[in-house]
Amino acid sequence: MKFVITAGPTREPIDPVRFLSNRSSGKMGYAIASAAIEANHEVVLVSGPVNLPPPTGAKIVSVITSDEMHAAVDEAVRDCDVLVMCAAVSDYKPASVAEQKIKKRDEKFSLELIPARDILKSLPRSRNFFVVGFAAETNDVEEHARAKLATKNCDMMVANDLSDPNIGMESDENAVTIFSRDGESEKILRASKKIIACALVKKICANAKKVLTKKF
């Protein structure tokens, strides 16, 4: 199979030296890319700015902003079997970007934000590739994950609970719950992201083959 995997954060510029971003390290997405390669799949890794060595064998597409990631994904999914949206794409971006550095003043400063592109929602509803979304939540994890599974038209949603500071973002470990369209769910208990990635790739491939029967 040909995987397109997104990983890491995006950065939304405020001025030439500042940006909005998040705590995503890219470790989970990179682990999934490595696991897919080890399972003899072809991988295109669309990566935001991270401090990780690229997985050997992956085609790397480096991006910075949410718009750049949207364009890269739009291009890559034209020829893929599985899209894994593991990146932490910014939900909002500045309405405008200052051309010069904004100077500090002794007064309040307001920054107008507008919604960034929702890459999952922008995908065609009729398609011939399997879509896996990720939901990083701090509360009501199952409720939010199932809602995203439906509203974002995914085939599978992988949720992780960020209320535990020892796993998830920036950590080498994770614990996730997989939600499928048929209503089923499966937990993968706390383990290294490498182990979780291998389990996810197996689960994704098994489900993708059922959905994409005509291609295999």
The pLDDT of residue 107 is 93
- Confidence band (pLDDT; 50, 70, 90) for 210? confident
pTM of the model: 0.94
Element (H, E) at 13: strand 12-13
Nearest CA among 121, 131, 183, 129 for reference residue 152: 121
Rounded to whole angstroms, what are the CA distances from 79 to 14, 45, 109, 134, 154?
34, 14, 45, 21, 18
| Cα distance between residue 188 and residue 20, in whole Å | 31
φ, ψ of residue 214 to 5 degrees: the values are -65, -20
- Confidence band (pLDDT; 50, 70, 90) for 66? very high
Residue 56: Cβ within 10 Å count: 8
Q: Is 133 within 8 Å of 157 (Cβ atoms)?
A: yes
Residue ranges and CATH numbers for the domains of the chain are 2-97+112-215 (3.40.50.10300)
Q: Pick the catalytic residue: 22, 40, 128, 160?
A: 22
Residue whose tokens read 């940006």? 19
What is the longest distance spanned by two Cα atoms in the chain?
Answer: 64
- Confidence band (pLDDT; 50, 70, 90) for 168? confident
Indicate if 22 belongs to the active site: yes
| Cα distance between residue 173 and residue 166, in whole Å | 8
| Average pLDDT of the residues of the chain | 94
- Confidence band (pLDDT; 50, 70, 90) for 68? very high
Residue whose tokens read 């991270």? 50
Q: Is 177 within 8 Å of 100 (Cβ atoms)?
A: no
3-state secondary structure of 146: helix
Q: What percent of the chain shows pLDDT beyond 70?
A: 98
- Confidence band (pLDDT; 50, 70, 90) for 213? low
> Judging by DSSP bridges, how do beta strands 82-85 and 130-137 pair with one another?
parallel
pLDDT digit string, tens, across residues 173-205: 999 999 999 889 999 999 999 999 999 999 999
Q: What percent of the chain shows pLDDT beyond 90?
A: 86
The mean per-residue pLDDT over the stretch 139-143 comes to: 92
pLDDT digit string, tens, across residues 85-130: 999 999 999 999 999 999 999 999 999 999 999 999 999 888 999 9
The pLDDT of residue 77 is 96
